Amino acid sequence: MERMGIHKRDILVERVEEAQESQEDAKDQFADALEAFQATVTVDGGELQQAYDKLKVQYDYSVKSANDVRGRITAVKGVAEALFEEWESELGLYTNDSFRRTSEQQLHSTQKDYDKLILAMENAESKMSPVLTVFSDQVLFLKHNLNARAIA
């Protein structure tokens, strides 16, 4: 991409923004799914199939949203790793010791800021799995209730 004039730092900024958008989308999707689940709590027996279908769709969208977030975080990590490796390797190109030291300090400071950013993203992502596990249980429970009713 750099050969085409697109710098790693620009890609990194874009991927961080995309990851933030994915996290916000996932947050909205989880809220929609929670609303759909809460609606099933008060479902009349005859509406169980509709409630299950609606909840299953919400669950599937939630899984997709969580996977999108994970993918975006992975993309951020990939470009950041490349950027930091390049930066590290280019430190030896300096002929001016002062510039090299300043750039090396900036590198370490930037890596610390990046570590905080990625930790925050991973913390947000880690909260999705437990919610999806509970959500999956609820969808499966409704499905099994439908199976029992069908056989009865």
With bands split at pLDDT 50, 70 and 90, how would you rate the model's confidence at 86?
Answer: very high
With bands split at pLDDT 50, 70 and 90, how would you rate the model's confidence at 84?
Answer: very high
With bands split at pLDDT 50, 70 and 90, how would you rate the model's confidence at 114?
Answer: very high
Looking at the chain, the whole-number percentage of residues with pLDDT higher than 90 is 33
What total number of domains does the chain contain?
1
Of the candidates 68, 87, 1, 79, the residue with the CA atom closest to the CA atom of residue 28: 68
DSSP assigned state of 91: G
Residue 129 has pLDDT above 80, yes or no: yes
Domain extent for 51 = 2-151
Residue 10 has pLDDT above 70, yes or no: yes
Residue 8 has pLDDT above 60, yes or no: yes
Task: Supply the pLDDT for residue 13.
Answer: 82
Instruction: Report the CATH number at residue 63.
Output: 1.20.1050
CB 71 within 8 A of CB 128: no
Per the listing, tokens 């430190």 go with 91
Instruction: Quickly list H helices, 1-152.
Output: 8-41, 48-90, 97-126, 128-151
Task: Supply the pLDDT for residue 48.
Answer: 76
Residue 3 has pLDDT above 80, yes or no: no
